[in-house]
Structures are given as structure tokens and as C-alpha cells.
């Protein structure tokens, strides 16, 4: 992987987790880190770069990592996304706006618009980072975008365990009570999930386990995450309008909003 890890900060405490995770990722992936503070200039204002540099240094923990600072101008989401595109960053790391309860963060606004404006992977950090990502859950619906997400996660985190999840449901379950229908759907899903794992390169297959869960994708993600101690959830999104038009049952935004652990969005333009 090439490029820098772009971590956005607004100098608030809520952004510290994203900064800390970006530094850990830089160490894990062998990449430099760039802290970005986007600025919406008022007419007649001037940029005090020295003062901004001081504020950036104040939020940095002790680190041996190579860290640079940048201050792109414009609407904050567009400036962050545009800077990542202009510098060909490896990924964008964002923090939650607030985190009091699950789902209580800045979706539909800044995070949404960053994702819509970039072809880079976007990581939303929810947990305080204590160690490198070692267990990654990849949600799949057997589509090409979800396969790309799996391939990206497996190649980027080459030492991590991969937990491949498919959540299934029975159509019209309230009216369809025949057990054989549910059994047939589950058997077909299990076959496809097993075939997907068996088709992986041996070095990936050897560290990949599969999970088939009946129910909604969000509940399945949280169930497996708690049981397996997942560090990171990766989902694929589709369409230039962003993650709200996602391939995984149109639920990628719900996963991002409700998942309890850090969540990575792989969009259609991610190489």
C-alpha cells in the first residue's frame, strides 16, 4: 500500500481517537500519517500556520511516527475528501462527533459527505485504540463490491484474522412458516459462503473463518463482533451518491451507524 494515512481533526477531544488510531495504523502498515484540519475561511481572514502547527503538536501523543500537517481550505467534508484525492492518500480516518450511545454520531452530514467525495477507504473510529487491528469482520452479500472489500481487507491487513459474515433472512417470514423453506435458504447461503472461502488464496483462506447468521445485518455484525472480539468491521458501498446506496441489503449506512466497533467503508472507486 502506498500513500499517507489522512487523519482529520477539529482539535476536539472526540477527534483524539482517530488521531491515535491513525498513528497505530501508520505503524501497522508502514505508512506516514498526515493530520488534516480543514478551514472554512471568513472573508478577510488570514492563515496563522505557525499557530495551527502548535495546536497540531499539542494533540499528538508521544510518537516516533513521521507526521505532517495540512490545512486544506473550503467546506470541511469537501476539503478533507479533496485533499485525500489530491495527495493520493492511502485512506481517510475520521472520528465520531460524539459517542454516548451506539449510533450517536455525525452521520448524514460530515462523514456522509466525506465518503461521497472520495475514492479512498474511509475509516470511522469509535473505540479507543489499544492495539493494532488483529480481527477483522467482513460483511458479504456475495456481490462483486463485497468481494472487493474482502480482498482489500485481506491484503491490507495481511496478518489479521478475517471473519467473513453473511446474514440471511427468510422472505415473508411472518406468513411463510414452512421450516423447509428456511432450511433451504440457510443451506444455500452456507454453501455459497463455504465456496467463497474455499476460493480464496491459501494464505488468506488459512486465516479466514465464516459466520452465517439468520437476522438483520446490523444485529449479526454486533453479535459476531462481541463473540469473536472483532476490532474492525469492513463493508462495501456502491454508487457515486455514497454509502446510503450500498450493496449489502442497502444497509451499509445502518452498519456504520449502529456497529459498536471501528467501521471501514470501501467505495466503488477504491482500487
Question: For residues 242 and 136, is the Cβ–Cβ distance under 8 A?
Answer: no
3-state secondary structure the chain: CCCCEEEECCCCHHHHHHHHHHHHHHHHHCCCEEEECCECCCCCCCCCHHHHHHHHHHHCCCCCCCEEEECCECCHHHHHHHHHHHCCCCEEEEECCCCCCCCCCCCCCHHHHHHHCCCCCEEEECCCCCCCCCEEEEECCCCHHHHHHHHHHHHHCCCCEEEEEEEECCCCCCCCCCHHHHHHHHHHHHHHHHHHHHCCCHHHHCCEEEEEEECCHHHHHHHHHHHHCCCEEEEECCCCCCCCCCCCCCCHHHHHHHCCCEEEEECCCCC
Give which of 227, 231, 18 is closest to 114, Cα–Cα: 18
The pTM of the full predicted model, rounded to 2 decimals, is 0.87
Give pLDDT tens digits along the chain (271 positions).
789 999 999 888 888 999 999 999 999 999 999 999 998 876 667 778 999 999 999 999 888 788 999 999 888 888 999 999 999 999 999 987 544 443 333 444 567 778 778 889 999 999 999 999 999 999 998 988 889 999 999 999 999 999 999 998 876 555 556 676 778 888 999 999 999 999 999 999 999 999 999 988 899 999 999 999 999 999 987 644 444 444 333 567 778 888 889 999 887 778 6
Walk me through the domains of the chain, giving residue ranges and CATH numbers.
1-130 (3.40.50.620), 133-271 (3.40.50.620)
pLDDT of residue 80: 93
Identify the pLDDT of residue 238.
Answer: 62
**Residue 175: predicted pLDDT:** 56
Whose CA is closest to 112, among 241, 268, 250, 266?
A: 241
Q: What is the pLDDT of residue 98?
A: 46
| Cβ-Cβ contacts under 8 Å for 220 (sequence gap 6 or more) | 165, 167, 211, 213
- Tell me if 246 sits within 8 A of 252, measured CB to CB: yes
At 193 the pLDDT is: 96
Q: What pLDDT is recorded for position 240?
A: 44
The b-or-e profile of 236-259 (16+ CB within 10 A means b, else e) is: bbbeeebbbebbbbebbbbbbbbb
Amino acid at each position: 500500500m502506498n500513500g499517507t494515512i489522512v487523519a482529520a481533526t477539529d482539535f476536539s477531544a472526540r477527534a483524539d481517537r482517530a488521531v491515535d488510531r491513525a498513528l497505530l495504523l501508520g505503524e501497522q502498515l508502514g505508512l506516514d500519517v498526515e493530520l488534516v484540519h480543514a478551514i472554512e475561511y471568513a472573508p478577510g481572514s488570514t492563515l496563522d500556520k505557525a499557530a495551527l502547527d502548535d495546536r497540531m503538536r499539542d494533540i499528538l501523543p508521544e510518537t516516533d511516527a513521521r507526521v505532517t500537517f495540512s490545512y486544506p481550505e473550503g467546506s470541511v467534508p469537501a476539503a478533507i475528501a479533496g485533499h485525500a484525492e489530491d495527495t493520493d492518500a492511502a485512506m481517510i480516518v475520521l472520528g465520531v462527533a460524539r459517542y454516548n450511545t451506539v449510533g450517536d454520531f455525525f452521520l448524514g452530514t460530515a462523514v456522509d459527505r466525506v465518503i461521497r467525495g472520495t475514492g479512498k477507504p474511509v475509516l470511522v473510529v469509535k473505540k479507543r485504540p489499544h492495539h493494532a487491528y488483529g480481527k477483522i469482520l467482513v460483511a458479504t452479500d456475495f456481490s462483486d463490491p463485497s468481494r472487493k472489500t474482502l480482498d482489500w481487507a485481506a491484503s491490507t491487513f495481511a496478518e489479521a484474522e478475517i471473519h467473513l459474515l453473511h446474514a440471511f433472512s427468510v422472505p415473508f417470514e411472518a406468513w411463510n412458516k414452512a421450516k423447509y423453506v428456511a432450511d433451504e435458504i440457510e443451506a444455500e447461503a452456507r454453501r455459497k459462503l463455504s465456496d467463497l472461502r474455499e476460493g480464496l488464496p491459501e494464505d488468506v483462506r488459512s486465516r479466514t473463518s465464516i459466520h452465517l447468521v439468520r437476522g438483520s445485518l446490523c444485529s449479526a455484525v454486533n453479535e459476531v463482533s462481541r463473540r469473536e472480539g472483532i476490532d474492525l468491521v469492513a463493508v462495501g458501498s456502491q454508487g457515486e451518491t455514497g454509502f446510503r446506496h450500498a450493496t449489502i441489503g442497502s444497509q451499509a449506512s445502518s452498519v456504520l451507524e449502529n456497529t459498536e466497533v471501528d467501521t471501514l467503508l470501501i467505495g466503488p472507486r477504491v482500487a
